[in-house]
């Protein structure tokens, strides 16, 4: 009987932890599957990272997009040799996107001057209908001239979001529409391999420290 009670308590503890993880992974009312994937892999705290370990997931491979100058690119090849920090958003986002982009500008400032050229901050639009290359360029450069904005066709955006397990959804709003989307940061190393998923609202200092460990 005592063994049975101990087993039941252990099961309840595991379930409670799983529920807590699931709630933490929710973003804009939707479950962020990338966060769930990272949870399955475990965190990278043992290596001293703040972000969750997504090494081996292969996020972002074989992805073609259009950069802010209207040039077709292959994501991993275009920025190979740099640590990439990728954020999914849209230029008409009222709060999360400008806040995150401003925080990423702070992250860049916290890197050593010689490290900044080794890091590429990238915003990928989930609203290709409105976010043309020119619109993306104007938007991201307002936060930092070095930032890059990527867009593409609806099919290309769907493919890249699926590759990163990133959530987004078009929501009608009056005569227009808005976009729901996950807001974590994906960090790829200098070889283009996915390494970290960083939760929203992580301190810029912690993000900068994680990036420096990958340089």
**Strand ranges inside 126-190, DSSP E:** 148-150, 168-173, 176-181, 185-188
Which residues does 5 contact at the CB level (< 8 Å), separation at least 6? none
Residues 6+ apart with CB under 8 A from 1: none
Domains and CATH numbers, the chain: 2-214 (3.40.30.10)
Contacts of 168 (CB under 8 A, 6+ apart): 88, 126, 157, 161, 179, 180, 181, 182
CB 27: neighbour CB atoms within 10 A? 20
Judge whether residue 110 has pLDDT over 50. yes
pLDDT digits (tens, 9 = 90+) for 82-99: 999 999 999 999 999 999
Q: What is the pLDDT of residues 1-40, one digit of tens each?
A: 444 334 343 434 433 333 333 333 334 444 444 444 444 4
């Amino acid at each position: 009987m005592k063994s049975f009670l101990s087993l039941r308590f252990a099961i309840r503890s595991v379930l409670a932890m799983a529920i807590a993880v699931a709630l933490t992974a929710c973003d804009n009312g939707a479950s962020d599957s990338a966060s769930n994937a990272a949870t399955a892999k475990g965190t990278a705290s043992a290596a001293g990272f703040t972000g969750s370990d997504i090494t081996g997931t292969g996020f972002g491979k074989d992805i073609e997009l259009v950069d802010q100058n209207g040039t077709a690119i292959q994501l991993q090849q275009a920025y190979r040799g740099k640590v990439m920090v990728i954020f999914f958003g849209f230029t008409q986002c009222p709060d999360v996107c400008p806040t995150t982009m401003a925080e990423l500008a702070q992250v860049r400032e916290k890197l050593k001057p010689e490290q900044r050229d080794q890091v590429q901050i990238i915003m990928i639009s989930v609203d290709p209908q409105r976010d043309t290359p020119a619109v993306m360029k104007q938007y991201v450069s307002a936060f930092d001239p070095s930032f890059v904005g990527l867009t593409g066709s609806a099919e290309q955006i769907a493919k890249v979001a699926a590759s990163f397990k990133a959530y987004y959804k078009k929501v009608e709003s009056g005569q227009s529409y808005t976009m729901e989307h996950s807001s974590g940061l994906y960090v790829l190393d200098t070889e283009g391999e996915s390494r970290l998923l960083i939760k929203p609202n992580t301190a810029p200092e912690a993000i900068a420290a994680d990036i420096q460990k990958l340089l």
